Every structure is written in structure tokens, then in C-alpha cells.
Amino acid sequence: MRKSERKQLKKALREDCLYLLGETIIELREKEDLSQEDLAYDCGMDRREMNQKG
């Protein structure tokens, strides 16, 4: 596998992982009936950070 192919694969895997993490967070947040703001507050984060894309 060439370096450029490895780089592409690494980027695709990272994006897939971030997508799955986001979906899991949404699912768990909704299960607990937490808004995005509530979750951010509970985690000590700014709400705007919850929706940022890497």
C-alpha cells in the first residue's frame, strides 16, 4: 500500500470513527432525555464545542 493510500485510509477511518461516536452520543443523550446544552453543561464544555467537526 502506498503512502498516499495509507493516508487516505487513515482519514476515512478517522471520519467513520467520529461519525459513529457522534451517533452514539446522540443516541445516549436522547435516551437520557438530555439536550445538547444539558450534556455540554454536565461535561463542563461550551455547547458550541459539541457540534464541531474535526
* Amino acid 16: pLDDT: 97
Q: How many residues does the chain have?
A: 54
Q: Please, what sign has the CA dihedral across residues 8, 13, 19, 22?
A: negative
pLDDT digits (tens, 9 = 90+) for 3-21: 999 999 999 999 999 999 9
Secondary structure of the chain in HEC code, one letter for each residue: CCHHHHHHHHHHHHHHHHHHHHHHHHHHHHHCCCCHHHHHHHHCCCHHHHHCCC
> What's the domain count of the chain?
1
In the chain, what percentage of residues exceed pLDDT 70?
93
Q: Residue 43: give the domain boundaries.
A: 3-51
Dihedral (Cα; 20, 21, 22, 24), 10-degree rounding = 80
* Amino acid 21: pLDDT: 92
In the chain, what percentage of residues exceed pLDDT 90?
69
